[in-house]
């Protein structure tokens, strides 16, 4: 079984290496998905993989890298279509800001 969760992280999460940290953590966990900054100052990510591993990744996002300050993390179930936003041939992509 595969879980797909889309996560929005708010706080001081841009300009602190948050996207690179998410990419590294997701790769270490063997997850698929993507991460990107949003113009409102939040970071958005999508994780796909075994449900327990996806849940652990969302929990990690509540802390983030050392320079980050996470105020809020919202996660919701996503679809295979959302997963397909990643770049072709990549397991995990850092996408442009929207």
**Enzyme catalytic residues:** 19, 37
> CA dihedral in degrees (29, 4, 96, 18; nearest 10)?
-40
For the purposes of burial, counting CB atoms within 10 Å of the CB of 53, is it exposed (0-12), middle (13-18) or buried (19 or more)?
middle
């Amino acid at each position: 079984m595969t879980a797909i969760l889309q996560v929005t992280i708010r706080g001081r999460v841009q300009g602190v290496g948050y996207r690179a940290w998410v990419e590294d953590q997701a790769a270490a966990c063997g997850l698929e998905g993507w991460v990107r900054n949003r113009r409102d100052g939040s970071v958005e990510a999508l994780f796909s993989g075994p449900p327990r591993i996806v849940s652990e990744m969302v929990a990690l996002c509540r802390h983030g890298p050392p320079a980050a300050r996470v105020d809020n993390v919202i996660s919701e179930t996503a679809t295979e279509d959302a997963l397909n936003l990643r770049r072709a041939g990549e397991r995990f992509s850092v996408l442009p800001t929207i």
